C-alpha cells in the first residue's frame, strides 16, 4: 500500500486521522521492507504488531510468518483491516487499547517478536511494558521518535541516558537502527523517526523475580538527577544497607545515577 493507495482507501472510507492517537502512517515501501528485514522473519514466527493502521506492514508480516496478532485501538481502522484481510489464515485482529491490554492480559511472549510502528503518543510505555515482562519477546523491532531511540541506545554519562535506557536494557540489548525520513509518513510527523532492533539478552542480568526491585531502585535513583544516589536510595532503604550495597556493586558513595551502568545497577539490586 503506497501513499496513493492509502489516500484513495481513506477517501473511499471517509477516514480522517486522529492526532491524539499518534496516527502517522508509514507508507514508504523501502522503509517497510527494511523493518520486516530487521525482524528476520521465518515461516514459524509468531508476530505481535501494535498500531497496524491500514496494514502496509501487516501485509509483509503475514507474508513472512506463521501468525500475526495485530492490536488496533481505532474502530474505524479495525473495520478497514477486516476488509483488507478477510478471513486471512494466521491473522488475529484485536480491537483494544494496546497498553491496557498488555497490562490486563499478561502472556508468555518468549516465542514472539514485536514488529511495530508504535503509536508515538504511547510508544515508550508499551515498549517498557513488554521489555519488563516476566517472559519478554525474543526480539523487538520498533519505529519511534528519534529522541526515544537515542534514549534506548544511550550509555552512562551521555545526555540521553536515563530511566528508559535502563528499563528497556535490563532484559534487552540495543542492536542496529536506521533513520526514517519524515516524508515517508502520512501525514508527516513533526519529529524525526527511526527504527531500532532490540534483542533479548541470552543471559538475563537479573532473575524475573528481582525485576520489580530493579525498577524501584532505578526509578528512585533517577527521581532527582542532580542528587547523589546514596541520599535518594536512603529514603527507602536503611542508609547503612545502601552504603553496603553500593560498595559491593562497585559504585562510588558520591555517584549520581546518570554515571552508573546497568550491570552495576543490577548488582546493586541484588544486594538491596
DSSP per residue, 135-187: S--SEEEEEEEHHHHHHHH--TTSTT-SHHHHHHHTTEEEEEEEEE-GGGEES
Q: How many domains does the chain have?
A: 2
Q: Out of 200, 230, 252, pick the residue that ends a domain.
A: 200
Quote the domain boundaries for residue 252. Answer: 208-271
Q: What's the CA gap between 17 and 14, in Å, rounded?
A: 10
Tell how many helices (H) and how many strands (E) occur in the chain. 12, 9
42 neighbors 21 (Cβ within 8 angstroms): no
Nearest to 73, CA basis, from 14, 21, 141: 21
Where is the domain boundary, 140, 165, 200?
Answer: 200
* Closest C-alpha to 53, from 37, 32, 34, 74: 74
Q: Write out pLDDT tens, residues 22-42.
A: 678 899 999 999 999 999 999
CATH number, domain containing residue 255: 1.10.8.100
CA-wise closest residue to 62 among 93, 22, 31? 93
Q: Are residues 11 and 101 in the same domain?
A: yes
Per-residue pLDDT tens digits for 87-138: 899 999 999 999 999 999 889 999 999 999 999 889 999 999 999 999 999 9
175 pLDDT more than 80: yes
Are 66 and 185 in a shared domain?
yes
Amino acid at each position: 500500500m503506497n501513499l496513493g493507495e492509502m489516500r484513495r482507501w481513506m477517501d473511499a472510507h471517509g477516514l480522517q486521522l486522529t492526532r491524539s492517537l499518534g496516527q502517522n502512517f508509514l507508507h514508504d515501501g523501502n522503509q517497510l521492507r527494511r523493518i520486516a528485514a530487521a525482524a528476520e522473519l521465518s515461516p514459524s514466527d509468531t508476530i505481535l504488531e501494535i498500531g497496524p493502521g491500514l496494514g502496509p506492514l501487516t501485509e509483509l508480516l503475514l507474508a513472512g510468518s506463521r501468525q500475526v496478532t495485530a492490536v488496533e485501538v481505532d474502530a474505524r481502522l479495525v473495520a478497514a483491516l477486516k476488509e483488507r484481510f478477510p478471513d486471512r489464515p494466521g491473522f488475529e485482529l484485536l480491537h483494544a487499547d494496546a497498553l491496557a491490554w498488555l497490562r490486563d492480559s499478561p502472556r508468555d511472549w518468549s516465542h514472539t517478536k514485536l514488529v511495530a510502528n508504535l503509536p508515538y503518543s504511547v510508544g515508550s510505555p508499551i515498549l517498557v511494558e513488554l521489555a519488563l515482562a516476566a517472559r519478554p519477546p525474543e526480539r523487538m523491532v520498533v519505529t519511534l521518535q528519534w529522541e526515544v531511540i537515542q534514549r534506548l541506545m544511550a550509555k552512562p554519562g551521555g545526555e540521553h541516558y536515563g530511566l528508559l535506557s535502563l528499563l528497556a536494557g535490563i532484559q534487552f540489548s540495543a542492536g542496529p537502527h536506521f533513520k526514517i525520513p519524515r516524508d515517508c509518513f502520512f501525514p508527516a510527523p513533526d519529529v524525526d523517526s527511526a527504527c531500532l532492533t532490540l534483542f533479548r539478552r541470552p543471559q538475563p542480568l537479573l532473575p524475573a523475580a528481582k525485576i520489580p526491585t530493579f525498577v524501584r531502585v532505578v526509578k528512585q535513583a533517577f527521581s532527582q538527577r542532580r542528587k547523589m544516589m546514596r541520599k535518594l536510595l536512603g529514603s527507602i532503604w536503611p542508609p547503612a544497607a545502601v552504603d553496603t550495597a553500593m560498595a559491593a556493586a562497585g559504585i562510588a558513595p558520591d555517584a549520581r545515577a546518570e554515571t552508573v551502568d546497568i550491570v552495576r545497577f543490577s548488582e546493586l539490586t541484588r544486594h538491596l
